[in-house]
Amino acid sequence: MPTNYRDALLHLLSRISFKLGEFTLSSGTKSDYYIDCRTTTLHAEGGRLTGLAILELLREQKIKPAAVGGLTLGADPIVSNVATASAWYAQEHHGAPMIHGFLVRKAEKKHGTGKLIEGFCEKGALVVIVDDVCTTGASTITAIEAAREAGMKVIAVACLVEREEAKGRPAVEAAAQGAPFFALYTANDVRAAHVRQLAL
C-alpha cells in the first residue's frame, strides 16, 4: 500500500487517469497513451492527495509562496486543493502560513472588472505556478506570463505529470527565468504504475 501522499496520489492517478490507446493531444501530436489528470484532481480523495502532495513538495524545497495559481481549466482543482490543504496544515501547525489561490483566464472577461486573473492578485507577491500535465508547456507559460504581468513574482513552477516530450521542460524553464520547475511524476512513472496494477 502507498506510504505517503505522493505514492498514494500516483497509485490513484495511474489507476483512474491513465489510458492506453490512440489519442491526439492538444499539441496535435499522436500518442499511444493519455493522462486525464482531472479525473483524479476532481476525485474526492484524489483532490485531497493532490493538495497535500504539492504542499509537501513546497515544504521539502523550502518554497514559501503567498499563492499558487495556473491556467484554467487544468490548474483549477490543483489550486483549490493546495489552498485548502495549506489552511488545514496551518490549523494543525500554529503559525504556518496559508497559501492562497488564483486562476488565469484564457481571455479577459468582457464584463464586470474585465479581469484576466481571478482570486489572489497582489503586486510583488511570491507565487508558484501549477499545472496538471506538461507536454509543450504552453498553458504553464501562459500562466507564468500572466502572473508576471500582474506584478507577481514567480518563484517556482510545479506540474503533476511531465510527459518529457515536445521540449516542454526547456520551454517552461526558459519562461520561468531561473525559477525551479518540479514535476511530481513523469509520464513513464504513471505508465509503470499503471502496468504494475494491471499485473495484479
Residue among 156, 154, 157, 155 at smallest CA distance from 137: 157
Tell me the β-bridge partners of 44.
none
Q: Is 73 a residue whose pLDDT tops 50? A: yes
What are the CA-CA distances from residue 154 to residues 13, 14, 78, 91 (Å)?
27, 30, 17, 26
Residue among 149, 153, 160 at smallest CA distance from 115: 149
Contact 48, 80 (CB under 8 A): no
- Please give the full DSSP string across 19-81, using - where no structure is assigned: EEEEEE-TTS-EEEEEE-HHHHHTSHHHHHHHHHHHHHHHHHTT---SEEEEETTTTHHHHHH
pLDDT at 184: 98
Residue with cell 493522462: 35
Query: What is the number of alpha carbons within 13 Å of residue 32 lying toward its C-beta?
Result: 2
pLDDT confidence bin for 181, thresholds 50/70/90: very high
Residue with cell 474526492: 44
pLDDT at 114: 64
Contact 143, 71 (CB under 8 A): yes
- The mean-pLDDT minimum among 26-30, 168-172, 183-187 falls in 26-30
The 10s digit of each residue's pLDDT in 1-16 is 456 999 999 999 999 9
pLDDT at 111: 58
Tell which wins on pLDDT, 112 or 146. 146
Q: Is 187 a residue whose pLDDT tops 50? A: yes
As a whole number, the mean pLDDT across the chain is 94
pLDDT at 3: 62
The 10s digit of each residue's pLDDT in 98-125 is 999 999 999 876 555 668 999 999 999 9
pLDDT at 178: 97
Q: Is 131 a residue whose pLDDT tops 80? A: yes
Q: Is 69 a residue whose pLDDT tops 80? A: yes
The 10s digit of each residue's pLDDT in 86-95 is 999 999 999 8
CA pair distance 120, 147, nearest whole angstrom = 10
Helices 5-16, 187-199: crossing angle, 10 deg rounding: 70
DSSP conformation class of 117: E
- The mean-pLDDT minimum among 14-28, 30-44, 144-158 falls in 14-28
Q: What is the pTM of this model?
A: 0.94
Share of the chain above pLDDT 90, in %: 86
What are the CA-CA distances from residue 161 to residues 16, 46, 125, 200 (Å)?
14, 14, 26, 24
